[in-house]
Amino acid sequence: MNIILFEALSAQNELPMQDPRAQHICKILRLKEGERFQAGIINVGQGTATLTALKNDSILFDFVMEDTQSAYLYPVTLLVSQVRPICMRRILREAVSLGVQKIILCTTQTGEKSYAQATLYTSGEYHSILLDGAMQSGKCGVSEVQFASSVATAMSLLDENSQRIVLDNVRESTSLAHASITASSVVLAIGGERGFTDDERTTFDRNGFSFASLGSRILRTETACSAGLAVLLGRMGLL
């Protein structure tokens, strides 16, 4: 954790000792009373927290807000096919760490339909994954996550003014590294390891997507997400 995030904070705060964040403060950071750590309010801002009391069952700390710019997320939407939960955990964590504003998890025609009902989502675990990614980044912005039952359904969730790019190894296209970014917000669509179907490619075509690639190699979805987002953010001048 490079920052410890909370839903809300006040001038004086108490955190139960069994909370993983308290455990991190005491056992990893090994802070003593009077020492400081970086803390923030999710999607609001960050500042400095000072440990004021260390009890057997809780810790107390003061918090001073210093920077609301740290809540900023890049104007990028990642539209990604539902994949195995173990892979999706990595995708969510890395996408948030890279500062993606919105993530749309989409059931695609070649993907396993049951993935959308995985306990990762039904238990709410994905929220903790997002939080972990944000804390790794040292920022307090946490991506919004939306769900779509198909590529066609996902189209209604997109910003009408965004530039739209889909990564695809089948359709002839140019390299994402050479893509011309002409809009302030961009949607990047990435399929599962079996890719998109011709029907889905037609849907992308009809909804203003241009096709791009990361080369001829077939990548794992989580690799394509991290690499694709990094290249895109670089083209946007944000990295």
- Helix spans in 107-177 (H): 119-122, 125-137, 151-154
At 107-156, the pLDDT tens digits run 999 988 999 999 999 999 999 999 999 999 999 999 999 999 999 999 99
CA 96 to chain centre: 3
Residue pointed to by tokens 């500042």: 47
Nearest to 163 by CA among 145, 140, 138, 189: 189
What domains can you pick out in the chain, each with its CATH number?
Answer: 4-68 (2.40.240.20), 74-235 (3.40.1280.10)
Q: Using an 8 Å Cβ cutoff, are 2 and 37 in contact?
A: no
Please state, in angstroms and rounded to a whole number, the distance separating the CA atoms of residues 49 and 149: 42
Q: Which of 43-52, 64-73, 168-177, 211-220 has the highest mean pLDDT?
A: 43-52
Residue range 191-235, pLDDT digits in tens: 998 889 999 999 999 999 999 999 888 899 999 999 999 999 999
* Amino acid at the residue 114: S
Residue 36 CA to residue 236 CA, distance in Å, equals 36
Can you tell me the distance from the alpha carbon of 140 to that of 169, in angstroms, rounded to the nearest whole number?
A: 35
Query: In angstroms, rounded to a whole number, what is the distance separating the alpha carbons of residues 40 and 17?
Result: 19
